[in-house]
Structure 1
Amino acid sequence: MQIKKINLERIREEENIEGEDYIAVEEPMHLKVCKDSCETFAVVMRTPGNDKELSLGFLYSEGVINGIEDVKKVVERGSNTVEVWVNRLSGVKARDIIVNSSCGVCGRALLYTISILKSNLKVHRKVIFSLPEILRENQNAFNVTGGLHAAALFNSSGKLLKIYEDVGRHNAVDKIVGSLLLEKGVPADECILLVSGRLGYEIVSKGIKAGIPIIAGISAPTSLAVQMAEEARVTLIGFLRGDSFNIYSHTERII
């Protein structure tokens, strides 16, 4: 359930009006990694729905799994617990914190290994211009609540391949990556990733690991995101609004 109806009171100058509204749901997901037994790896604050994809994408970005071949099965127990049964246990330790919906890297060391993308994808600027409107039209829960981020994957012609919404941008990206893992679609070296807000380290690192050569955002990138994109040979696009955008790295992919 992504949306919840609540009662509220609207204040309009000197008027108090009782009414109803819809808000985005945010709940904790207990993510457990299991081999012979299960251990809680993290508690992820997220919007319920597509928890299997979220779990797989999150564990992939954390280095717990290297691909879908490392996974035996995924079991959803109740509405807020997911068990991922694996063939092997990595040296990655469980997080001892709650991963909140606004921060995908809080509480852990800022370490990353750059993978150099080999994709020769080239995309016309008109395709890039068209993406925000397609994203917005397909943000069904946001259009009701105004309270959810989205991540979408497009092909080089601008066709929408998949879209996920969540209270956290990084969660929405994890859902994209998890879906690609299930389809054995990594590396996604002919795709474009678009997120509905800023481009921070966590978003770009997840996109790089999934092999996505063009990563775009409606808002600004951070300095570390630009640095990572430059080193990984990723085309990073920010402030994608209307008929304009900025390219911060590897402009050669945009024609």
Structure 2
Amino acid sequence: MKVFLPPTSYEYATVHKVQAAEVTTASDVLAVEEPLEIRVGYGASGQREHRTLSITMRTPGHDFELAAGFLLTEGIIRNRQELHGVIYCPDVEKEEERENVVRAELAPTATPDLPRLERHFYTSSSCGVCGKTSIEAVNAATCPVLPTDGPYVSSALIHELPARQRAAQALFEQTGGLHAAALFSPTGELLLLREDVGRHNALDKVIGAALLQEWLPLHQHMVLVSGRASFELVQKAAVAGIPILAAVGAPSSLAVSAARSFGMTVCGFVRQNRYNVYCHEWRLQDLQPSAPDSE
């Protein structure tokens, strides 16, 4: 099946390919990275205020989902009812920037945390919003309690997730330069997949899509992220109520500490038919570790 990609998400470049001593000219496909400004409107009718909340480097596409997911995972909104909608902002100075500025309109009854709104974020595509140094700060953002009665998934199923994710990564196949986040059911059915130059953006897009479809909390789901599992990704998954986070790369120490606190199962190095389980392994069925080798 041919997959048609948004034309704004990639562009072509002429490159010189070097193989041993041979040099050839060819066309290559690049993943686009552009800034997205997220503005927010809030307040009672007739007393609305608008301000810039974030500027993030992202791959164009699914911008409304990205904004919705960011608002949720950063604690600006708590549920779908507090978000009226997201639009491309019509009052930008330059026409060419219009699709790089979105405005999220909060419900008049929403009561956003004003100190959070006053904080201007700059989110880099490589690391996400930086500066959180303690799990307590995230607990204060009202992360939901993750379920303690499941879901229970087959430990063997975790091995299959990367191949299912990669098969759906149309833009990665073209460019080789994108991260992905994929939402799965406990039986391994791929429900949502989003790609972006930033790991945190890809996950925000998935969470934003689920929020807009009113699927939250995602207590019966698991997510696979490309690359490493950072504290930011664990925090975002916890806000969405995701109890199982698997990553192709390694988790950080703070990510594991946070996951233990939230009650989240974390699997790392999920590739080449192997993975490590770092905490809350009880959600993985038929997991029977052997005794360590004696010295």
- Seen in structure 2, the aligned counterparts of structure 1 residues 209 and 155 have a Cα distance that, compared at 3 Å, is same
| Counterpart pick for 1:5 among 2, 12, 18 | 12
Q: How many angstroms apart in 2 are the aligned matches of 1:134 and 1:183? A: 23
Deviates further, 15-24 or 199-208: 15-24
* Residue in structure 2 matched with residue 38 of structure 1 by the alignment: 50
Residue 180, structure 1, aligned to residue 187, structure 2: no
Residue 118, structure 1, aligned to residue 147, structure 2: yes
Displacement of 1:68: 1.2
What is the letter of the counterpart of residue 16 of structure 1? V
Q: How many angstroms apart in 2 are the aligned matches of 1:95 and 1:53? A: 21
Displacement of 1:95: 4.1
Asked if the contact 2:121–2:129 (Cα under 8 Å) also holds between the matched residues in 1, the reply is no
In the TM superposition, what are the counterparts of 1:1-255 in structure 2 within 5 Å? Answer: 1-35=8-42, 36-77=48-89, 78-87=98-107, 88=110, 89-91=112-114, 92-107=116-131, 110=134, 111-113=137-139, 114-119=143-148, 120-255=150-285
Q: How many angstroms apart in 2 are the aligned matches of 1:83 and 1:141? A: 26
Displacement of 1:164: 0.2
Unaligned runs of 5+ in 2: 1-7, 43-47, 90-97, 286-295
Q: How many angstroms apart in 2 are the aligned matches of 1:197 and 1:102? A: 11
Displacement of 1:107: 4.7
Asked if the contact 1:42–1:94 (Cα under 8 Å) also holds between the matched residues in 2, the reply is no
> Identity of paired residues, percent?
38
Asked if the contact 2:182–2:194 (Cα under 8 Å) also holds between the matched residues in 1, the reply is yes
Asked if the contact 1:220–1:239 (Cα under 8 Å) also holds between the matched residues in 2, the reply is yes
Asked if the contact 1:170–1:202 (Cα under 8 Å) also holds between the matched residues in 2, the reply is yes
* Residue in structure 1 matched with residue 5 of structure 2 by the alignment: none
Asked if the contact 1:4–1:24 (Cα under 8 Å) also holds between the matched residues in 2, the reply is yes
Asked if the contact 2:85–2:106 (Cα under 8 Å) also holds between the matched residues in 1, the reply is yes
Deviates further, 119-128 or 213-222: 119-128
Q: What TM-score, normalized by structure 1, do the two folds share? A: 0.95
Asked if the contact 2:229–2:255 (Cα under 8 Å) also holds between the matched residues in 1, the reply is yes
Partner of 2:138, secondary structure, is: coil
Displacement of 1:15: 3.2
Q: How many angstroms apart in 1 are the aligned matches of 2:71 and 2:254? A: 22
Q: CA RMSD of the aligned region, Å? A: 1.5
Q: How many angstroms apart in 1 are the aligned matches of 2:256 and 2:171? A: 30
Please identify the structure whose Cα radius of gyration is greater.
2
Asked if the contact 2:52–2:120 (Cα under 8 Å) also holds between the matched residues in 1, the reply is no
Deviates further, 13-22 or 161-170: 13-22
Q: What TM-score, normalized by structure 2, do the two folds share? A: 0.83
Displacement of 1:230: 0.8
Asked if the contact 1:116–1:231 (Cα under 8 Å) also holds between the matched residues in 2, the reply is no
Residues 157-195 of structure 1, C-alpha deviations (whole Å, 9 max, x = no match): 101001000000110000111011111111101101000
Q: How many angstroms apart in 2 are the aligned matches of 1:117 and 1:204? A: 12
Q: How many angstroms apart in 2 are the aligned matches of 1:60 and 1:123? A: 27
Residues 113-164 of structure 1, C-alpha deviations (whole Å, 9 max, x = no match): 1543125210011211111100111111111111000000000110100100
Partner of 1:197, secondary structure, is: coil
Partner of 2:250, secondary structure, is: coil
Partner of 1:211, secondary structure, is: coil
Q: How many angstroms apart in 2 are the aligned matches of 1:139 and 1:160? A: 12
Partner of 1:7, secondary structure, is: strand
